[in-house]
Structure 1
Amino acid sequence: MTTNEIYDDLTPRNRSIATFALLACAFLAMLDGTVIVTALPKIVEQVEGDSSWFIWLITGYLLTSSVSVPIYGRFSDLYGRRSLLLIGLFIFVAGSLACALADSMVFLIAARTVQGLGAGALLTLSMAAIRDLYPPGRSTGMVRMQTVLAIMMIVGMVGGPLLGGLLTDHASWRWTFLINLPIGGTALVLLSAILPPGRTARVTTGKLDALGITMLTVSLSLLTIGLSIQSDRTGSQQFGWTHPAVALPLLVGLVLLAALVPVERRAQTPVLPLQLLRRRSYTALLTGGFFFQAASLPISFMVPLYLHDVRHYSASSSGALLLPLLIGMAVSSRLTATVILKTGRTRPVLLVGACLLTAGAAGFLLLDDNTSPVLIGVWLTLAGLGTGPAMGGITIAAQNSVPPTDIGTATAGSTLTKQIGGVFSLAIAQTLLNQQDVATGFTSAGVGGAIGWLGGTAGLLALVSMLVMRDVLVFVPGKSSPKAMALADSRAQE
C-alpha cells in the first residue's frame, strides 16, 4: 500500500484537522529559529555568562535541526512518516519544556540542541505529509496548503523576533519556549489519533547506511559550526575566514562531504540517494533554493540594523518599516499558487521571482543616510514579491520532480539547501560588513553594499538555476493530460 492510499479513508474533516496540525508543526519549527533572538540578552543576564554564549544558543538549534533533516526525510520514505513525525514532535515539545526549566547556560544549550533535533522532523515531514494528504488527484488542495504553509513560515521568520521581545518584556523569556507546549501537545494528540499507521510500498533491503549517516551528520555539523562562528558578532572577537576556528571545520566538512559520494554509491540503502541528483530539474531546484535564501535572508536581518543604528528609529518603527517585505512575500505566495493551479507549471513563477528578488536586493546599493523610507519600502516590496515564489514553489516543484517514493527525501533536500544557503549568506554578509569601519556601529554604505552585492549576485545565480531547470508540471485535475505529465517527468530526469 502506498502512502497516498493509506490516507484515502480519511474523512474530509479529519483530513482538514490533520492538515492544520501539520501546518502548526512547521510553524513551530520556523518560529523557534527566530523567536529567541530578541530574548537572548535577557536570557544571558538571568541565567549566566556573557554575550559569547549567544552564538551557541542559536547554533545548537540550527545545527541539529539542519543535520537531521536529510536523515528524517530519507527514513520517512523508507519506513513511513507517521512514527518519525510523532517522535520528532515529542522530542521538540520535551526540548522546549527543558529549555523553559533551564537554570544554567550549559543545560539550556543542551536542551536547545535537543529541541532542534525534533525541529528537523517538523520542518521536513510536515511538508512531506501534506504532499501525501494531497496527491495528484487532490493537487488543488496541495498547492493551496503549501501556500498557507509558506505564509506561516514567513510570519514565523519575520514575526518571531517581535513575539520573543513581547514575551520577554511582558512575561518572561521562558515563555518563548513554554508557548510551544500547548500548540505542540495538541498537534501531537491530533496527529496520533488521526494519521493512520502505515508505510510506503518500498521494500527496504540491505544494511542500515550507518557510515553514510555518520559522515553526513559530521560534515554538515562542521560546516554549520564554521559558518556560524564566522558570522558571530556578539563576542569580544570576530573570526575571519582564515582563522583556524572557522577554516578548519569548513575544510574538514567539505572533505567529508566529498568523500561521502563514493560511500553512498556503494551503500545498499543510501541515506543520500545520488540518483535523484541526476535529475536535472531536481538538482537545479536545490541550487536555486540555496541562492534564493542566500539573496533574501540578509535583507530581513540587516535592514532593521540600518534603521536602528543609522536612522535611529525605534524597534517598533523598524518593525513597521519591514511590513512591505512581509506583505510582498504573502501576496506573491498566494499568486504563485494561483498561477500553478491555472497552468500546472512551476518554472515561470520561479523565473519571475528570481528577477524581482535580484532587482529589490540590488536597489540597496543606492542606500545612504538619507534614503527615503518610501524608496526603501519599494525595494523591500520587490524583494518580498521575489522571495514568495521560492517559499512554496521550490518545495512544490521539488516534490513533483521525483518519484512518489522519494518525496520525503526531495523535501528534505529542498529544506536543507535553503537552510545552508541562509547560514552561508549571513557569514558572507558579515565579511562584507567587516570591510567597513564599524567602530561606531553599522553604516549605510556597509549595509547597502552587503545587501546589494550579496543579494544581487545570489539572485542572478538563482535566475540561472531556474533557466537551467526543465519545467516541472503539477497535475491539475481537468487541465493536465497524462501524456503531458509523462513527457515532463522524462524531461526532468535528463
Structure 2
Amino acid sequence: MTPSLHIRLDISRTTYQSPHVVTDTTAPPVTPEKSSTNWLLIIAVLGGMFLAMLDQTIVGTALPRITAELGGGGLYTWVVTAYLLTSTVTVPLYGRLSDTYGRKPLLLTGIAIFLLGSALCGLAQDMVQLILFRGLQGLGAGALLPLSLALMMDTFTGKAGAKVQGAVGGVMGLSYLAGPYLGGVLTDHADWRWVFYVNLPIGLVLVPIMVFTLPRTAVAARRGRPDYLGIAIFSAAVTALLLGLTEKGLAAEDGRPHAWTSLPVAGPIAGAAALLALFVLVERRAAEPIVPLHLFRNRTYTVVNVVSFFMAFGMYAGVVFLPRYFQEARGLTASESGLRIYPLMLAMLAGSAVTGVLMSRTGRYKPALVAAPLLLIAGTVLCAGLALDTGDAAMIAWMALIGLGIGPTMSGLTVAVQTAVPPRYIGTASANLTFFRQVGGSVALAVAGTAYSTTVAGHAPAHGLPAAHAEAAATVIPWLGVAGGLVALAAIVLLPGGRIRIPEVDQGQGAIA
C-alpha cells in the first residue's frame, strides 16, 4: 500500500536486506523545524548547483571576445565541447561512486577540481590551454549538479522535500538564463577572464559551508571493486557520441555543414553505438556496475529519463536560439539580449515554484508534468511568427508559455525519479537524470544548429542577414519545442500513478515495480 505524503518520507533511514548493503547508519534527515543550520545547508547545496549550471551558459557570450584575443577561431566550438565532454561523462560516475562512498566527499572533490579549472581558464594564454583547462573544469562540474540534487533528497523529505525541489528548479532556471547576460556584462565592462574568475569567490564561500553543514549520507557497508572496465567503455562511448554531434554542427571544407553520413559525423556515432552495446554486456556481468541496468526495469525511472532527454529540446530552444535571435536579428548586445529573455526566466521560476507547492499539497507530480509539454508546445509554436517587427507584448507572452512549460520539469522530474528508486541509488538516479538532459540538449543543438545555418544561408541573399536570422529562429524554435514536447507528453502519459511514495524494501535488485 502506498503511504500518503502526509507521512514523512524518512527513506534515508530504511533498513534493506540486500546482500550488498547492511543497515543504513545515516543520521536522521534534517527538517526545517529541527535544524538551525537549515538555511546554510540549502545555500551550500543550491550554490553548488548554481556554479555548475551558470558555467554552462556564461561562457557563450564571451567566446567572440576570447577568440579575438587568443586566436584559434577554428577551435571556437571546442571551448564548449571540452567542458561538455568531461562534465557529461563524469556525471553518472560521480553519482554511482557517491552511493558507495558518500555524497559529501565526492561533492567537495568535484568543487575543488572545478575551482582549480576555473582559475586556470582565467590564466590561459592561448586556445589550446583554454580548451585543456575547460576539460579540467568539466571533470569537477560533473559532481556539482547531480550530487546537489541527491543531497537535497537525502536531507529533506516529504512536504519539505517537495518544496525544496521547487527552489532547485528555480536555481536551474536562474542560472541558465542569467548566465548569458552576466557573461555579456563581464565581457563588456571588465575582462573576459572574469567569466571564469567569478566562480572563485562564490566557491570559496561555499566550501567551508559545505564542510561544516553537509550531513553524512548513506554508505554501503561492503565496498566492491570499482567497475573500471565499465567506466572506461562508458567514457569512450559518450566521448565518441558527443564528438560526432559536435562535428555535425561544424562546416566542412566546402563551407556547408557536415552531412549525417559524412565520416567525421557517422564514424564517431557508429563507434559510440558499438561501444554502448559492449557497455551493456559488461554492466550485466559487473558486481558493482557504474550504471545499474536493473533500474531501467522500473517504468517510472525509465520514463522520467526519456522525458528529461526530450524536454531538453525545448529548454535549449529557449536559452540558445532566443538570445541569438535578439542579437543577430534585432542587433542587440549580449547584455541587452539577456535582459530581453527575462520573461522566460521568470516564468520558469514561477512554474518550478508552483509545481513544488502543488506536489507538497497533493502528493502527486504527474498533473504538473502533463501540463508542462503542452505549455511548451504552445509557446514554441507561436514563435513560428518571429520576424524583425514582432511586438514586445507578443514576445513576452510566447516566452512566458515556454518558461511555464520548462519550469515544472525542473522540480517534478527530480522528485519522480528520486522517489522511484531505493535510497542507495538516489545519487545514481539524480546523475542519470542530468546525464540524459545534457545528452538530449547536445542532440537537439546538433540537429537544430544545422537547420539554423542552412536557413540563414538560404534566406540571406534575398532578404538580408537580420531577416534570415529571424526566419531561422522562427523555424528552429518551433521544431525543437514541438518535437521534444510531443515525445515527452507521450512518455508522461505512461507514468504509473504519479504519487510521491516511499520505496519498497530492496529485495536484491533494489528497484520498485
Scaled by the length of structure 1, what TM-score is found? Answer: 0.91
Is structure 2 residue 355 aligned with structure 1 residue 336?
yes
User: Which residue of the partner structure matches residue 476 of structure 2?
Assistant: 450
Would the aligned equivalents of 1:37 and 1:164 in 2 still touch at CA under 8 Å?
Answer: yes
Map of 1:142 onto structure 2:
161
Aligned position for 2:493: 467
Inter-partner Cα distance in structure 2 for 1:396 and 1:3: 23
Aligned-partner Cα distance in 1 for 2:329–2:63: 22
Find the counterpart in structure 2 of residue 436 from structure 1. 455
Alpha-carbon spacing, 1:3–1:71, altered in 2? closer, same or farther (3 Å): farther
Letter in 1 for 2:61: T
* Paired position in structure 1 for 2:249: 231
In 2: Cα distance, 1:316 partner to 1:8 partner? 40
Q: Is the 8 A contact 1:401 1:472 kept in 2?
A: no
On the 8 A contact 1:3/1:201 being kept in 2, the answer is no
Partner of 1:81: 103
Name the structure 2 match of 1:164.
Answer: 183
- C-alpha contact 2:312 2:441 (8 A) present in aligned 1: yes
Q: Which stretch has the larger CA shift, 392-401 or 183-192? A: 183-192
Separation in 2, partners of 1:391, 1:234 = 37
Mapped to 1, the partners of 2:25 and 2:419 lie a distance apart of: 15
Equivalent position of 2:212 in the other structure: 193
Cα shift readout 1:177-203 (whole Å, capped 9, x = no counterpart): 111111112211221223355642453
Task: Tell me by how many angstroms 1:253 deviates.
Answer: 0.8
Task: Map residues 208-357 of structure 1 onto 2, 5 A cutoff.
Answer: 208-232=226-250, 238-357=257-376
1:119 aligns to 2:119 (yes or no): no
Answer yes or no: is the 8 Å Cα contact 1:297–1:425 preserved in 2: yes
Contact 2:296–2:302 under 8 Å retained in 1 = yes
Residue 409 of structure 1 and its aligned partner are, at CA, apart by 0.5
- Deviation string, structure 1 residues 427-465 (Cα, Å, up to 9, x no partner): 111232244252633443332121112211110100001
Instruction: Establish whether residue 37 from structure 1 lines up as the match of residue 55 from structure 2.
Output: no
Q: Distance in 2 between matches of 1:373 and 1:9?
A: 44
Query: Taking structure 1 as reference, are residues 6 and 342 closer, same or farther at Cα in structure 2, changes over 3 Å only?
Result: closer
Write out per-residue CA displacement over residues 145-181 of structure 1, whole angstroms, 9 at most, x where no aligned residue: 2222221221111111111111112111111111111
Distance, in Å, in 2 between the alignment partners of 1:21 and 1:97 is 21
CA contact (8 A) 1:356 1:386 kept: yes
Amino acid at match of 1:39: A
Contact 1:100 1:177 (8 Å CA) reproduced: yes
- The answer for the alignment partner of 1:479 in structure 2 is none
Question: What pairs up with 1:417-432 in 2 under 5 angstroms?
Answer: 417-432=436-451
Secondary structure, aligned partner of 1:461: helix
* Distance in structure 2 (CA, Å) of the matches to 1:406 and 1:196: 17
Structure 1 position 486, deviation (Å): 6.0
User: Take 1:313 and 1:46, find their aligned partners in 2: how far apart are those partners?
Assistant: 22
Cα-to-partner distance string for 1:262-292 (whole Å, 9 max, x where unaligned): 2111111111101110000110000001111
Deviations 1:277-309 (A, max 9, x none): 000011000000111111221222112222333
What is the rounded CA distance, in whole Å, between the counterparts of 2:492 and 2:259 in structure 1? 32
Equivalent-residue separation in structure 2 for 1:414 and 1:342 (angstroms): 24
- Count the aligned residue pairs: 479
Can you list the C-alpha shifts for 1:379-401, whole angstroms capped at 9, x where unaligned? 21111111000111111111011
Structure 2 distance, partners of 1:9, 1:381, is: 33
Instruction: Report the Cα distance in structure 1 between the residues aligned to 2:293 and 2:243, rounded to whole angstroms.
Output: 25
Q: Deviations over 1:79-104 (max 9, x none)?
A: 21111111111101111111111222
Alignment-mate amino acid for residue 217 of structure 1: S
Q: 1:108 to 1:379 in 2, by over 3 A?
A: same
Alpha-carbon distance change, 407 to 175 in structure 1, aligned in 2, over 3 angstroms: same
- Whether the aligned pair in 2 keeps the contact of 1:400 and 1:472 (CA below 8 Å) is no
SS in 2 for 1:38: helix
In 1, Cα distance between equivalents of 2:456 and 2:198: 40
Shift in Å at residue 255 of structure 1? 1.6
**Structure 1 residues 319 and 183: alpha-carbon distance in aligned structure 2, compared to 1, 3 A threshold:** closer
Distance in 1 (CA, whole Å) between partners of 2:185 and 2:336 is 15
User: SS state of the match for residue 291, structure 2?
Assistant: coil
Change in 2 beyond 3 A, CA 1:8/1:308: closer
Q: Secondary structure at the match of 1:432?
A: helix
Partner SS for 1:402:
coil
The gaps in structure 2 that reach 5 residues or longer are: 1-22, 506-510
CA contact (8 A) 2:258 2:265 kept: yes
Cα distance in structure 2, aligned partners of 1:316 and 1:42: 14
Rounded to whole Å, the distance in 1 between the matches of 2:226 and 2:386 is 53
Q: Contact (CA 8 Å) 2:283, 2:293: kept in 1 or not?
A: yes
Instruction: Find out whether 1:58 has 2:80 as its counterpart.
Output: yes
Aligned with residue 28 of structure 1, among 29, 46, 51 = 51
CA displacement at 1:243 relative to structure 2: 2.2
1-side partners of 2:352 and 2:405: how far apart? 9
Residue type of the alignment partner of 1:431: T
Equivalent residue in structure 2 for 1:16, among 15, 35, 39? 39
> After the TM superposition, which residues 346-425 of structure 1 pair with which residues of structure 2 at under 5 Å, given as runs?
346-425=365-444
Matches within 5 A, 1:174-193: 174-193=193-212
Cα distance between partner residues in 2 of 1:346 and 1:198? 25
* Matched-pair contact (CA < 8 Å) for 2:166–2:357: no
Instruction: Evaluate the alpha carbon distance shift between residue 234 and residue 185 of structure 1 in structure 2; reply closer, same or farther with a 3 A threshold.
Output: farther
**CA shift in 2, pair 1:181/1:311, >3 Å:** closer
SS across alignment from 2:364: coil
Residue number among 17, 27, 38 corresponding to 1:5 in the alignment:
27
CA contact (8 A) 1:292 1:458 kept: yes
Report deviation, 1:6. Answer: 6.1
Amino-acid identity (%): 37
Whether contact under 8 Å (1:54, 1:234) holds in the other structure is: no
Aligned to 1:96: 118
Secondary structure class of the residue paired with 1:203: coil
* SS state at 2:455 partner: coil
Tell me the SS of whatever aligns to 2:223.
coil
Q: Secondary structure at the match of 2:500?
A: coil
Q: Deviation at 1:233?
A: 7.0
Rounded to whole Å, the distance in 2 between the matches of 1:234 and 1:101 is: 32
Q: 1:313 to 1:104 in 2, by over 3 A?
A: closer
SS at match of 2:289: coil
Q: How far, CA to CA, are the matches of 1:160 and 1:378 in structure 2?
A: 22
Q: Distance in 2 between matches of 1:444 and 1:486?
A: 52
TM-score (norm 2): 0.88
Q: AA paired with 1:266?
A: R
Q: Which AA in structure 2 matches 1:34?
A: T
CA change 1:185–1:314 in 2 (3 A) is closer
